[in-house]
Amino acid sequence: MYMMWMDLFIMIFATFRITRLVVNDSITSFLRNPFLEISYMEDENGQLFEQTVIKGKGIRRWIGELLSCYWCFGIWCSLFVVLVYVNVDQVQIVFLIFAVAGVASFIQSMVSD
């Protein structure tokens, strides 16, 4: 399999953006809600912090663990992105869009305070 550097970067940033979209972004909270419960706790200084509680047992719990862990989901997402990217030519433009959004997200996180 021959791959250009640009293909690799598209897959890397598409994986980054899709993973962040599924695990962190509020727009996809409906996907996480059946598996995770978010509660807010107060520490000894009065600061609120978010605590994620995984719901259920068996496969439901496994999916909850996956959706609550950026690194865990990222592995499976990268497998999906690589397999689809190299085997389905028509989907490459979708991954390019995610990659551009991923780079923009990365840059935004670097320049924001």
**1 has a pLDDT exceeding 70:** no
Encoded tokens for 24: 């962190």
What the block records as the tokens of 58 is 């068996």
pLDDT in tens, 17-75: 999 999 999 999 999 999 999 888 888 888 888 889 999 999 999 999 999 999 999 99
Write down the pTM of the prediction. 0.84
Under a CB-based contact definition with an 8 Å cutoff, are residues 103 and 28 in contact?
no
Q: Are 65 and 55 in contact (CB under 8 A)?
A: no
Indicate the residue type of 100.
V
AA letter at 85: Y
Interatomic CA distance for residues 11 and 3, integer angstroms = 11
Structural Rg of the chain based on CA atoms: 17
Contact 16, 109 (CB under 8 A): no
Domain ranges within the chain, ordered by starting residue: 5-106
Residues near 19 by beta carbon (within 8 Å), at least 6 away in sequence: 70, 73, 74, 77
Burial class (CB within 10 angstroms; exposed 0-12, middle 13-18, buried 19+) of 29: exposed
Tokens of residue 63, six digits: 């999916």
